[in-house]
Amino acid sequence: MQKIEFTNNQYRMLMQLVALGVELIDNAALGNDEDDKENEAAEDPLLSAAVDLEGYLLSHAKRFGIKDIVQPEPDGSGDNYSEEFLEDHQTISQNAYLNKAAEIASFQLGMRDYKEKYGVDSLDNMPPQEGVDKIMSFSMKYLNEIFENGFGNFHLKSESPARIISLSSE
């Protein structure tokens, strides 16, 4: 076994990164049942390994004296994150998800507008980076709108079928 030494600040950052990583990995498994978290970790080796690492790091929290991040469970069964840490973690996660959703939505809408103006097949024989560069001028108005006003001004046309937004070019 190799040893790595951390300062309190480095340990704090590591705890935040691991907590965010566990959430990201957990959310990537969108098809899993919310009520079945125990079996979910057992079925997903990456999530299981991340949860194990998180538990290991939590078990060493006392050494770093970071009571504002990690607190003992009232029943003495171990340690868990403090409410303040969880609130900060939730803010970071929500901002990250909102930013990613804005990026994907604005790009998809920009691609739709580009294809409406130049034709459905206009991107087919174009190098990917050139296509992205052309679409970006159409996408930026949507991205700016989302960051200024959120998604409140976005409405689905009732005559158009709804689609899940994806990163594919189709």
Instruction: Kindly state whether residue 89 falls inside one of the protein's structural domains.
Output: no
- Decide if 21 contacts 50 (C-beta within 8 A): yes
Regarding whether 134 and 103 lie in a shared domain, the answer is yes
Regarding whether 22 and 69 lie in a shared domain, the answer is yes
Q: pLDDT at residue 168 above 80?
A: no
What pLDDT, on the 0 to 100 scale, is given for residue 165? 53
Distances (CA, A) of 106 to 22, 62, 100, 160: 27, 45, 10, 18
pTM: 0.68
Regarding whether 170 and 144 lie in a shared domain, the answer is yes
CA 40, distance to chain mean position in Å, is 18
Q: Express each pLDDT in 25-72 by its tens digit.
A: 988 875 555 555 555 445 789 999 999 999 999 888 888 888 888 887
Regarding whether 100 and 76 lie in a shared domain, the answer is no
Q: How confident is the model at residue 155 (pLDDT cuts 50, 70, 90)?
A: confident
Tokens standing for residue 110 = 């920009």
Residue range(s) defining the domain that contains residue 47 = 8-81
Instruction: Kindly state whether residue 3 falls inside one of the protein's structural domains.
Output: no
What pLDDT, on the 0 to 100 scale, is given for residue 32? 53
Number of domains in the chain: 2
Regarding whether 100 and 54 lie in a shared domain, the answer is no
